[in-house]
Chain A
Amino acid sequence: MIIREFGVRQGRKALAAPLRRGQQCMRALSTETSGTPVATADPAVEAALQTSPENPTVPSLFARTAKPTRRRPVAPDTTKADWETAQQLRHNLRNVGAQVEHRYSPSDVFRNPPGPKDVTLELLMASQAHMGHHASVWNPANARYIYGIRQGIHIISLEQTAAHLRRAARVVEEVAYHGGLILFVGTRPGQTQIVTQAARLAKACHLFTKWTPGTITNSDKILPGLPVEIVNEHDQPVGGFNQHLMDRRALVPDLVVCLNPLENFTMLRECSQANVPTIGIVDTNTEPTWVTYAIPANDDSLRCLAVIGSVLGRAGEAGQKRRMEDAKNGKVTWDTPSEIKQFMDIQQKRAQWTKRAAEEEAATKDKSGGLNGKPSSGSATKDSEVFDESMQKLQMEVDAATADDVSPQLRKMSRRTD
C-alpha cells in the first residue's frame, strides 16, 4: 500500500541528493547521498573521502549533520587459545598444593564401574542400598530381607542384598555366556545413563522409556519389521537369511533386568507369561514374587541403582568375554534356535533338489538330443512327477518337524513350497 504521507514527512530529509554534473554513472549517486539506515559505512568519513580538492562538492545534508560512529575496536577471539592454556595450566598444577583425598563423585560409578567382585557391604551401605520405605507401607513378603526399623523406616539387610546381588550377577553372566538376549529396563527419570551403560557393557538391550504393553505377548503387532540380523558364533553377521528375516517373528528377551519393578508390572507379567526370567530390585514396599530373582535394595536411590546396574553390566561383560573366548577355541555355548535351524534345513533340501532336477534334466536333454534332436515330452513329465513326489516328502518332513513347535511362518513357508 502506498503511503503518501511518507514523502511529505520524511522524503526530503532522508534523501537530500543534489545531482552532480560530470558523473559517468548517475546511479552511483545514491551511495553518497542516501542517508538511509542501510548504509553501514561511516557517513562523515565517506563524505570527507569523496570531497576531492579539485572537484569540491557540497556534502549532503545527512552527511553534514551525522556524527562519526563510535565503535569499539573488535577484539580478536582468543577463546580457543585461552581454553588450551587453561587445560595446560590445570594439567601442570595438578600435583601442586595439598593432596585432597578423593572420596566420592557421582560419576565415579560410570567412569570405573564396579563388578561383582567389588560388591562389599561398605559399598552398598555407602550407596544407601539399605534404606527401605516407611514401616507402614511395607510388603510383609519382604520380612526376610528386612534387618530392622530405624526412625520409622525399614532397614534392608545388606547381607541379603549382597548375596542376592551376587546370585543375580551369576545369572546375568551365565545368560550372556549362553548367548542369551538380556534387556535392562529402568523407566524412571535419571535411570537412562545407568541402563545404557549396563547394556553397553553386557552387549545387551536397554529400555529407558515406557514399556509398550504387549511388546512380548503381542510382539507381532508392536515390533514388526524392526531390524534384526543373524550372527554366527563369533558374533559376525552372516548373509543369506533375508527370506527368514522377513518372515520371522519378533525377538523376545531371554533375561530382563528391571530397576523399578513397581512401575513395570505389565512388563513383568508379560515376562512370566512367556517364561522369561526376570531380575528386579525389590524395595520394602514391592512384591518380591513379581520377579524371578529379587535383589532387596533401595530402588529410590540413583546411586544404589547405578552400583547394582554396573555390577550386573560387568557380570554380563564377563559372560560375553568367556563366550567369545570359547567360540575362538571351537566351543559354542548355544544351540541354533529351532526356527532358524528349520529354515536352514529347508534351504538345504531345496538346493539339493534343484541341483538334482537340473542334473536329470540335463541327462534327458543329452539322451533325447542324441536320438532325434527333440526332447521327448514323456521323460519330462516323468521328471516332474519325481520332483512332485520328492517335494511332498519334504512337505511331510517339515510338517512333522513343525507339529511340536508351532511356528506359523514355518507352516506358511512349507505351504509355499507346494
Chain B
Amino acid sequence: MAAAPTAERPAIARRGPAAPRPGPGGRHRQNLPGYLFLSPWLVGFLLITAVPMLLSLYLSFTDYDVLTPLREVHWVGWDNYRRMVTADPSYWHAVRVTLTFALVAVPLKLAVALGVAVLLNRTFRGVGVFRGLFYLPSLLGGSVALAIVWVSMFNRDGAFNSLLALFGIQGAPWVNDPRWALETLMLLAIWQFGAPMVIFLAGLKQVPTELYEASSVDGAGAVRRFWHVTLPMLSPVIFFNLVLETIHGFQGFTSAFVLSNGTGGPVDSTLMYTLNLYINGFVRLDMGYASAMAWVFLVAVGLITVVLFRTGRFWVHYSDAEEH
C-alpha cells in the first residue's frame, strides 16, 4: 500500500509541465479519475437510492400489490393520491398522530438537550463522564432493544409503576393505554437527547467569554445573560438542531412498531405516518398506495423544512454576517 503512492508521485511530477491543456476534451479527461473514485458511492446512490425512488414515484400512480409482476401493474392516475385525501380516515388519523408527536417531542427534546448542555458546559471533576452518560441513550438510537426495554418499563407491572407505587400512586398501564401510549413514545424520543446536546455543547464553547464578562459588568444576571447572550449566539446551532430533529421526529418508526407489535395500537394511538405507510405497503400489500404516501411525506417534510428556513431569517443570528 505504502509503495504505490511514492511510485506514482514522480510520474505526476514528470507529466506536470504538459498538464495545462485547455479545451473541453482535456477537462473531461481530468474529471474522469474523480468520477471513478466517486464510483463506489455513485453506483450505490444510483442503484440503491435514486432508481428505487424514481420507481416508487412511478408505482405511486399504479395499483402495484407487490405480488403481481411489475410489468402487469395498471396505471391508475391520481387515484392513490385522491384516496389518501378523500377516502382514508386512517391516513388523516396517522397525520394527526405524527404531527402531535413531532410538535411535542421535538421542542421538548431540544429544550432538555440545551438545558443539560448548559449545565455540563463548565469544568468540574468528572464532567466528561457525565457528558458520556447523557449521550449514551442517543448511541442506542432507534434500536429495537431500547423499545423493548421501554415497553417492559412502562406497562402495568413495569418498573415505572413500581416507582410510583412507592409514593402511593397507582400508575396507568402507559404503553397499553391509548391515552398514554403516544406520550410514552414521546418520552423515549426526548430521553435520547444526547445528539443535539453534544452539538449544543460545541456551540456553547464558541460563545466568546468577553460577551458574558461585558454583560456581567453591565449588571446582567444569569437569566438575562442566557436570554440575551447565550440564546442569540447559539441560534444557528439551535436552528441546525431544530431542522434535523424535526425531520427525525417525523420519521419515527422503530419505537412505534415495537411498542405496538406493528399494529399502531392500542386503537391506533401510535399509528405514526411511517408505520401506517409500512402497514399499507407490506401488510396490506397495497404498495402503489404506500408509494404515494411516501411521496406526499417527502414533499411535506421538504415543505416544513423550507418553512423552517424562511422563519429562521427572523431569529437566527450569524455573528459574522452582522459585521458586514
B is a partner of A: no
